[in-house]
Amino acid sequence: MGLGVEREAVPSRPRTAIRWWIFVLLLVIVTANYIDRSSISVALPLMTKQYHLSPLVSGLVLSAFFWTYAAMQLPSGWMADRLKPRLLTAGSTIGWGVVEALTALASSAGVLVLLRLLLGVFEGPVYPAGAKLNAVWLTAAERGRGGTLLDAGAPLGTAIGGVVIVGLIGLLGSWQAAFVAAGVITVVLGLVAAWFIRNAPAEHPLVSPEEVRYLEAAHAAEDAAVKGSAGRGNLFKYMRFKSFWTMCLGWLGFDVVFYGLLSWVPYYLTTFRHIPFSVSGVSVFLIFGMGFVGELIGGQLADRWRLAGGRPNVVMRTLLGVAGVVTTAAVVVVAFTASAVAAVALLAVVLFFLRWAGLYWSVPSLLTDQEHAGLLGGAMNFAGNVGGIIAPVAVGAILNATHSFFLALMMFAAAGLLWTVSSLLMDYSRKLPVEG
């Protein structure tokens, strides 16, 4: 059954828009999240010289973050549903800011691995908490924009991180100082999150009664349309359905491409495309900045189409299908181009369309009710971050064996195909009928 009924049942033009300010704050937090997690990729050319790291060991250092980050997704989804997302978001942000700053004290590759593991623990809860906030604070027709606002911090943080970290290294003379500065800023953001975010609209002191009624009426209409479908679901009950598996496999394919590029693009540009380190940050900014723009455009297209009467399956399958095909084709072309400028331009195209996958962060709230959106968001992100574990190590092994990036790009193309096919097979129009 379609989920567009709230358009007829809810009041129009609520007097405040606190729900959108919460998602702007989440955008800023996830931006910091990706500046912090990708800072090591930007500094990798310097670290490989300081610690005498081989490509394989570098891949292990990059991958270590995802071991604990992936492991935290299911517990974080449970905590988002049970312990509520406000303090989970704030505590996570403060914790990883402290770890980011402590990374400046690393004295060896082994210590770097340990700190990356700890960073993964603290960064893990942010996306499941965001999925929960998407379900609680937005209507069905707003969740595409909410999901992409949440997720747009990934390319934006990577883009800004490339410029900021390279700039700070040049200004302060070391990558260590850059990491301390990034960590301190993140801790401040965590304190802002604790002050501003609330677990429900009615709890927020700045929300108008009109906005509360608008959201409560929308959620009541949505729940009535799928009455009795969600029940007291648990993860094993969701595993009976194709849409659960296509959601997880699609996000896995997406993350192999994104985390592979996030981890290795700076090294690829300086080592294989011979772009000077001093200007590599600008190239990273252009590539991942286009991802940020693409993600926001994808969310706007989805919600505007839905508000105009587009059926969920038509909207999501069309947008994600087009994005997947273009992404996969552009990755293949990168492998065969000889020009460094053309490679950067093509990678910008890849990121522009790849980041339309941010629409996936509206999927948990499309497939289940508010009470279980955190759980499904955690399951989806767990599957995706298996790709985060695999991609950096696989690329490092490929470089060790072939001294070429060609097979790595072919791996990204195969993962893009998995994302595309999974997106086309998913049913976005019905809640999963998990009975208590």
DSSP string, 305-329: HHHTT--HHHHHHHHHHHHHHHHHH
Domain edges within the chain:
9-221+237-425
Largest CA distance in the chain: 63
SS3 assignment for 94-133: HHHHHHHHHHHHCCCHHHHHHHHHHHHHHHCCHHHHHHHH
Secondary structure percentages of the chain, helix, strand, coil, to 5: 80, 0, 20
Local structure of 405: helix, strand or coil: coil
pLDDT of 423: 96
Q: What is the mean pLDDT of residues 156-182?
A: 80
Each residue's pLDDT tens digit, 276-314: 866 777 888 889 889 989 988 998 898 889 888 889 899
**99 is written with which tokens?**
């770890």
Each residue's pLDDT tens digit, 173-188: 777 888 888 889 999 9
pLDDT of 274: 81
Q: What is the mean pLDDT of residues 145-160?
A: 82
What percent of the chain lies above the pLDDT cut of 90?
Answer: 31
Q: Is the pLDDT of residue 369 over 80?
A: no
Cα first-last separation, the chain: 20
pLDDT of 411: 95
Q: Using pLDDT thresholds of 50, 70 and 90, give the confidence band for residue 3.
A: very low
Which residue has 């990755």 as its token pair? 331
Q: What is the mean pLDDT of residues 234-247?
A: 86
Q: Using pLDDT thresholds of 50, 70 and 90, give the confidence band for residue 56.
A: confident
Amino acid at 46: L
Q: Using pLDDT thresholds of 50, 70 and 90, give the confidence band for residue 330.
A: very high
- Report the sign of the C-alpha dihedral through residues 271, 275, 280, 284, in that order: negative
Q: Is the pLDDT of residue 2 over 70?
A: no
CA distance 326 to 341: 19
DSSP string, 289-304: HHHHHHHHHHHHHHHH
Contact criterion met (CB below 8 Å) for 38 and 161: yes
Angle separating helix axes 340-354 and 312-336, nearest 10 degrees: 160
CATH architecture for segment(s) 9-221+237-425: Up-down Bundle (1.20)
pLDDT of 226: 56
Q: Is the pLDDT of residue 202 over 80?
A: yes
Integer angstrom CA distances of residue 243 from 3, 240, 247, 402, 427: 16, 9, 6, 38, 6
Amino acid at 57: V
pLDDT of 414: 96
Q: Using pLDDT thresholds of 50, 70 and 90, give the confidence band for residue 335.
A: very high
DSSP string, 327-390: HHHHHHHHHH---HHHHHHHHHHHHHHHGGGGGGGGHHHHHS-GGGHHHHHHHHHHHHHHHHHH
Q: Is the pLDDT of residue 332 over 50?
A: yes
**335 is written with which tokens?**
């492998």
Q: What is the pTM of this model?
A: 0.74
